[in-house]
Amino acid sequence: MNRWSVNSDRIEARINRLAQIGKISETGVCRLALSAEDLEAVLVVKGWMEEAGLTARIDAFGNLIGRLEGANPDAPAVMMGSHIDTQPYAGRFDGIIGVIGAIEAVQTMREQGIAPAVPIEVAAFCDEEGCRFNKGLFGVRGLLGQLEEGELARADKDGVTRLEALVAFGGDPSKFAESVYPPGRVGSFLELHIEQGPVLESLNSPVGLVTGISGPLWWTVDLHGFAGHAGSVPMPLRRDALASAASIIAGLQTLASRDPDAPTVGTVGSLQVFPDSRNIIPEHVRFTVDLRDIDLGRRDRLEAELRVLIDEAAAANGLTYTIREDTNSEPRYCAERIKDAIRASAADLDVTLPELMSGPFHDSLAMSRYCDYGMIFVRCKDGISHNPKEFSAQADIALGCELLYQAALRLCRAAAHAPAEPA
């Protein structure tokens, strides 16, 4: 007999339905933020929200938000959610299970005849991934009034600006201010997500409790040299931007790998070369840097070393350079009271719940600056993510959704009995 309240088959069917929107292979998906495919998926999810009894809307930032009023509609809400935009070469689970699981939690409450004491909100945040405009968490940061100067002017590889894409999507920059959440509207945020790593699988555990999120540092680095004929310019006289980039990339690997016991990771995931010709010395190279660590002090020390490395590599080849900081966040730790709600729910289900940190950032990273947050991880095969081979089993996802549902119930009950804030 199924001891779960959530509907596993409904969850699976919805995951498979979204996987058809932006499908690139049997298991692969490309649904970039603010694209036509993203809008199609948002409208499908909006229908599921309404089926679950939520009042749903798309806000000025492109976020899809559903709300179920509680017995006390003025109380801070319990919010759940994640995102449904994907990387260009993605699987069908990253972000998606957090949105579908949140809808399932609300739909299960209504089917069980449970009326929450406080409001519940479900969010499918816009552009968590950041791959199209090279800066993520756009929707959730917008909702919280944390956007930075120039974000709407960022352009994708085809020259389309975020402003143009947002307006085509149905967003409205003129209404940003009225879409920002005031302090206290949400009291707790819960996010269900695949782990995107191998720890849970190594422990043979279908689910895990997240303790915190590593702080990501994102840079865009530009190296400027001078083009010349590959056959006629002697090696000592060259100003080769790609040669310096190669030494910097290798150096980053060394820095990030220095302490094998540390969770530090460093990645160069995008590189552009100009003029990009076989027999021309590269004049301009642009590449990205992604450096993360749960220990901010260690990450700061590695950042300082990386800056020295870039300076020395540029000087060695007679280059100039610029470093643009795209994202810089300190590590953020989950709230004890929310972790306790998840632990208690796991105990009721007789489920072992390992505790682990998150290397990837999530919408929770931004929400952590607004309210208490907590996360549940679901095991994924071989730790693969951002790849069409990404996979989580139906039973594991259903268990994660059940934990989300049970924890949300606990948080709603606790919020109903919390003392009122002083006027």
pLDDT digits (tens, 9 = 90+) for 16-66: 999 999 999 999 999 999 999 999 999 999 999 999 999 999 999 999 999
Nearest-angstrom CA–CA distance, 358 and 112: 33
Q: Where are the domains of the chain?
A: 8-214+331-416, 215-328
Task: Domain 215-328: state its class.
Answer: alpha beta
Predicted confidence (pLDDT) at residue 152 exceeds the cutoff of 90? yes
**How much is the pTM?**
0.84
β-bridge mates for residue 323, sequence order? 221
* Confidence (pLDDT) at 422: 42
Q: Which class for 185: exposed (0-12), middle (13-18), buried (19 or more C-beta within 10 A)?
A: middle
pLDDT digits (tens, 9 = 90+) for 57-107: 999 999 999 999 999 999 999 999 999 999 999 999 999 999 999 999 999
Average pLDDT (336-359) is 95
* Confidence (pLDDT) at 134: 87
Q: What is the DSSP letter of 383?
A: G
Predicted confidence (pLDDT) at residue 362 exceeds the cutoff of 70? yes
In degrees, rounded to 5, the angle at the alpha carbon of residue 210 between the alpha carbons of residues 205 and 213 is: 135
Are 80 and 406 contacting, i.e. CB atoms less than 8 angstroms apart?
Answer: no
Average pLDDT (306-316) is 98
Task: Domain 8-214+331-416: state its class.
Answer: alpha beta
* Confidence (pLDDT) at 423: 39
Q: Which class for 331: exposed (0-12), middle (13-18), buried (19 or more C-beta within 10 A)?
A: buried
pLDDT band at 216 (very low <50, low <70, confident <90, very high): confident
Predicted confidence (pLDDT) at residue 342 exceeds the cutoff of 70? yes
Q: Which amino acid is at 300?
A: D
* Confidence (pLDDT) at 417: 74
pLDDT band at 420 (very low <50, low <70, confident <90, very high): low
pLDDT digits (tens, 9 = 90+) for 169-209: 999 999 999 999 999 999 999 999 999 999 999 999 999 99
pLDDT band at 244 (very low <50, low <70, confident <90, very high): very high
* Confidence (pLDDT) at 128: 97
* Confidence (pLDDT) at 419: 59
Q: What sign results for the dihedral spanned by CA atoms 69, 74, 76, 81?
A: positive
* Confidence (pLDDT) at 418: 65
**Cα-Cα end-to-end distance for the chain:** 49
Average pLDDT (224-250) is 97
Predicted confidence (pLDDT) at residue 263 exceeds the cutoff of 60? yes
Write the CB contacts of 28 (distance below 8 Å, at least 6 apart in sequence): 89, 90, 91, 388
Percent of the chain topping pLDDT 70: 98
Q: What is the DSSP string of 17-47?
A: HHHTTTB-SSS-B---TTSHHHHHHHHHHHH
Nearest CA to 120 out of 177, 204, 188, 31 is that of 188
Mean pLDDT (the chain) is: 95
Strands (E), 241-398: 265-267, 271-274, 284-293, 320-328, 332-333, 355-358, 372-378
Predicted confidence (pLDDT) at residue 1 exceeds the cutoff of 60? no
Nearest-angstrom CA–CA distance, 89 and 22: 10
